[in-house]
Structures are given as C-alpha cells and as structure tokens.
Amino acid sequence: MIADTGNVKFTTRDVHVFYGAKEAIKGVDLDINNNEVTALIGPSGCGKSTYLRCLNRMNDTVDSARVTGTIELDGVDIYDRSVDVVQLRARVGMVFQKPNPFPKSIYENVAYGPRIHGLATKKSELDEVVETSLRKAGLWNEVNDRLDTQGTALSGGQQQRLCIARAIAVSPEVILMDEPCSALDPIATARVEELIDELRENYAIVIVTHSMQQAARVSQKTAFFHLGDLVEYGDTEDIFTNPREERTRDYITGRFG
C-alpha cells in the first residue's frame, strides 16, 4: 500500500492514535509526495482529520491524545525529542475547516507568522512577504487597497484564502488542509481549488475532504480511510475508476458514508 514514486516528503509507518482508551487510527502506513496533492477521503469519524493532525503534531494540544508509530518528515521523526514542535508547525502549515483569520487587519494576519519566526525583520521585508503571500493566495488584487481592514470583514471565501496566505507566509514545505471548502459556496470553492492546484508546484499538499468530486478534481493521490484503517491508497484516477477494495467502491459510489 506504499507508493513507490520518489520524491517522498512524509513517511508514516504503523501510526496509531488513541483518544484515552479509544483507538482512532489503527496502524496507518502512508507516504506523502512532494509537489502533489494527496486527498484523504472517508466517512465521518474515519480518522482522516486525526491522521492529518498528526502530521504537524496538532494532536499534542489534545490532552487525552496519544500517538505511536513513526512519522518522518524528510527522514527525521517529527515526534523525536530533538524536534521543536513550533518549528515543525512553521514547516508544515495548516488551513482549517472554518476560516479562522485573527480578528486583526489583513496585513497583521499575514505578517504575524513571519514576525514571530524572525523571517522578516525590516518593515520593507515584511511588506514584501505579505504581498507575495497574498499574491500566491490569489487575494492581492482584491485587498491591496485595504490591507488595514479587519480580516474578519472579508467574505468566507476571501477569509479562507487569507488563511492560506497566512500559512504560506512562513514558507512552509507542506500545507495541510482540513476540509478547507466545507464552509464555502461553490464559486469560492472553485477559486480555492484552483489555488490548490497552483500551490502544488511548490508544496506538498494534504487535503481532507468530504467531497469526492473535489478529491477527484484536485488530487493526484487519494487515500480512503474507514473506521481508523487506511483501506486503499493510490493514484486518484485509479481509486475513482478502478478501486481494488469493495469498501472503497461502495463508498465512492455512494452506497454508504
């Protein structure tokens, strides 16, 4: 079930996640490739979001959560003691389900990450980072004349692209997206999907989605999760046209989930 393509960013082996006594992920082996979009699909509660949150150790913030197995980023175990979780999260950015800009100006939203990481010290450098990030997120033309308005005053789709700009402002290597379009209308969704496709050039992207059409549209690799197991992983085309597993077939044809 391990992809044999080169250019691997994340290598995860035998990953288990427990919430107290409940086992949410039951031994997942999965590789995430660079410059590709990997979609994680599956019915609610299958563990795909939990798995995603292992990749930047966001599960650390949940007291009862316990992660076992190895998760390597460029060959280094991210759960090793020597790895600083704050730096890891700068390298592995995250975009959340509900757009969550800081209740500050658009400029401050994007500048916050570079500032705390010391990526830009001078005002001019910071201005540049903000502009490039907003351009990459396809938001610059819409907001360049009102950078000091509140990020929360933007529309839902714009807010989500602002969150993407905020994530790429710290120059991450991987971007994790947890159902980034579930709170957006179809037009805003299309914009974000377009953006994801553009971003693929420079980043490894992992996206959790409930929409199988979305997975089919934006991803190159798809992983199907069910009840904490990784059922099937492969090229998106294969998964959707010729799934090997019965459960995958049932799910993508809408028989359950």
Partner 1 sequence: MTDTGKTPYFLSERAQKLVRKRYAAERRFRFYGLAMIILALAFLAVLFYTIISQGISGFVVTNIRLPVTFTAEALGVEPGATAEDLKGVSGFKYTKLARRSLNDYLGIPKGDTEDERLSRGLLSNGVDVQLRKILVNDPTLLGSTVEVWLLAHGSVDPFVKGQISRDLPENRRLINDQQMAWLEKLEHDGRVDLRFNSNLFTEGASADPELAGVGVALLGSFFMMVLVVLLALPLGVGAALYLEEFAPKNRFTDLVEVNINNLAAVPSIVFGILGLAVFINYAHLPRSAPIVGGLVLTLMTLPTVIIATRAAIRAVPPSIKEAALGVGASKMQAVFHHVLPLAMPGILTGLIIGLAQAMGETAPLIMVGMVAAVFDFPGSPMDPATALPVQIYIWSGLPERGFVALTSAAIMILLAFLLTMNATAVILRKRFERRW
16 vs 104 by CB, closer to partner 1: 104
What residues pair up with 241 in beta bridges, in sequence order?
Answer: none
Q: Per-residue x/- mask for partner 1, residues 85 to 124, rule CB under 8 A?
A: -xxxxx--xxxx-x-xxxx--------xx--xx-------
Separation of alpha carbons 242 and 248, rounded Å: 10
**101 three-state secondary structure:** coil
Q: How far is the CB of 172 from partner 1 (least distance, A)?
A: 9
Q: How far is the CB of 201 from partner 1 (least distance, A)?
A: 21
94 vs 212 by CB, closer to partner 1: 94
CB 156 within 8 A of CB 99: yes
Contacts with partner 1 by CB under 8 A: the residue count is 28
Separation of alpha carbons 66 and 24, rounded Å: 10
Position 167 contacts partner 1 (CB under 8 A): yes
Which residues within the stretch 19-58 sit at the binding site for partner 1 (CB under 8 A)?
Answer: 56, 58
Separation of alpha carbons 31 and 1, rounded Å: 9
99 vs 138 by CB, closer to partner 1: 99
Orientation of helix 156-168 relative to helix 186-199, angle to 10°: 20
Q: Per-residue x/- mask for partner 1, residues 209 to 248, rule CB under 8 A?
A: ----------------------------------------
Position of tokens 């288990």?
16
22-29 contacts at long range (C-beta below 8 A, 24 or more positions apart)? 23/228, 24/50, 24/228, 25/50, 25/51, 25/54, 25/228, 26/227, 26/228, 26/229, 27/69, 27/229, 28/69, 28/225, 28/229, 28/230, 29/1, 29/2, 29/230
88 vs 188 by CB, closer to partner 1: 88
126 vs 212 by CB, closer to partner 1: 126
Which residues within the stretch 137-166 sit at the binding site for partner 1 (CB under 8 A)?
Answer: 152, 163, 166
What residues pair up with 39 in beta bridges, in sequence order?
Answer: 207, 222
56 vs 189 by CB, closer to partner 1: 56
**Binding footprint of partner 1 on the chain (CB under 8 A):** 56, 58, 61, 63, 86-90, 93-96, 98, 100-103, 112-113, 116-117, 152, 163, 166-167, 169-170
